[in-house]
Amino acid sequence: MIHGRFQPFHNGHLEYLRGAAAQSDEVFVGITNPDPQRVKEEPSDPLRHLPESNPFTYVERLLMIEAVAQDEGIRVHVIPFPVNEPELWSAYVPAGVTQYLRLFSEWGGTKLERMREAGYEIVVLDEG
- pLDDT tens digits along 64-113: 999 999 999 999 999 999 999 999 999 999 999 999 999 988 888 999 99
pLDDT above 70 for 128: no
Mean pLDDT of 41-65: 91
Burial of 126 (0-12, 13-18, 19+ CB in 10 A): middle
Domains annotated on the chain, with CATH: 2-127 (3.40.50.620)
User: What pLDDT is stored for residue 1 in this prediction?
Assistant: 98
